[in-house]
Amino acid sequence: MASLTPTASAASSPPSVLAGWAAWLQAALDARLDLPPLSRASAAIAAMAADGEANTAVLAQLVERDPTVAANVLRVANSAALAPRLPIVTMSQAIAWLGMGEIQSIAMAVAMRSQLFAGATHEMLLKDMWRTAVATAYWARGIARPRRITVDLAHLCGLLHRIGRPVVMRCLAQAPDGREASLSASDRAWLIDRFEPAAGAALCAVWNLPEPVSTTIEHWRDEAYDGEWHRPIRQVRLAELLASRSLGKPGDERASERIQAAIAALQMTPDEIAGLGAIEAAVQQALAALD
């Protein structure tokens, strides 16, 4: 459970006010979250990524079952960033052009965006969260590829490892009597940071997301974690650090040190380290296509 007492420097409101908000958020998370359901097709695609399954016909059928996801997948596949030689009008064509793994990744990304990252309330903050999630997913994908670790699972964990943040945003927006508008930016940031893990865990339960995703959400900050899914979690930790650099975010003073520590934890070879530079282009391409 998140701490209910903010430090004086973390937020602008009196501790009693923030404690009231924290108690309200905790109650909202303890109850069943008011979230749009994840479609069966999207849930099946997530399970396919976690299991490392590869069946082109099944993937095409799953994407086509959700008209919103299918339309967005075709839009992204036809985007200037991905530059198809000819217009793509069917899912089979999209898979043939981009590959099954890429279509799987796009399908999950557009499903997540439509469910949690859309809406006029604090649009710029949600967009920043979205771009960070996409960049982390594609960095994780690139890091996993030469290591013979399930690439699609790495992408899924990277995409969803901080999914609790937009969930907290959504909960705050549902506060009665428009109270959320009274929060300062620093208050909102404190609440998001404090409740992100709990909100992510609650979403996993509601959407029945695969175990590797829920474990990543719970442990990606824990550098000492050495459980069953430690490899994808370490990949995600490095991927987020590199994603922040790709997006030009202000880094902390220890950013370079933390990147080196994450590389050492993964025991990356010199060739893998040298190959990190090539992943940047794929990350920027994905951001351009999915924006």
Find the range with the poorest average confidence among 126-130, 151-155, 250-254: 250-254
Residues 92-129: tens digit of each pLDDT:
888 888 888 888 888 888 888 888 887 767 888 899 99
Kindly state whether residue 4 falls inside one of the protein's structural domains: no
Residue 141 lies in a domain: yes
The pLDDT score that the predictor gives to residue 4 is 44
How high is the mean pLDDT of the chain? 86
Could you give the CA distance from residue 162 to residue 250 in angstroms, rounded to a whole number? 18
The answer to whether residue 279 sits within a structural domain is yes
Per the domain annotation, does 5 fall within a domain?
Answer: no
Number of neighbouring beta carbons within 10 Å of residue 140: 31
Q: Is the pLDDT of residue 2 over 50?
A: no
For residue 174, pLDDT over 80 is answered with yes
Domain assignment of residue 201, yes or no = yes
* Mean of pLDDT values over 4-20: 66
- Residue 9 has a pLDDT of 47
Q: Does a structural domain hold residue 8?
A: no
Whether 147 is in a domain gets the answer: yes
Question: pLDDT higher for 10 or 50?
Answer: 50
User: What's the pLDDT score for residue 236?
Assistant: 95
Residue 228's CATH number:
1.10.3210.10
Residue 1 lies in a domain: no
Greater confidence, 102 or 32? 102
Mean pLDDT along residues 259-286: 92
Domain with 144 in it: 15-290
- If one counts the domains in the chain, the total is 1
What mean pLDDT comes out for the span 248-260?
85
Over residues 70-84, the pLDDT tens digits come to: 888 899 889 888 888
The answer to whether residue 34 scores a pLDDT higher than 90 is no
Section 154-176 average pLDDT: 91
Look at residue 240 and tell me whether its pLDDT is greater than 60: yes
Highest mean pLDDT: which range of 53-67, 118-132, 137-151, 230-244: 230-244
- Whether the per-residue pLDDT at 8 is higher than 50: the answer is no
Rounded percentage of the chain residues whose pLDDT exceeds 70: 93
- Higher-confidence residue of 14 and 273: namely 273
Mean pLDDT score, 191-209: 90
Q: What is the mean pLDDT of residues 33-62?
A: 82
Q: What average pLDDT score do residues 156-160 get?
A: 93
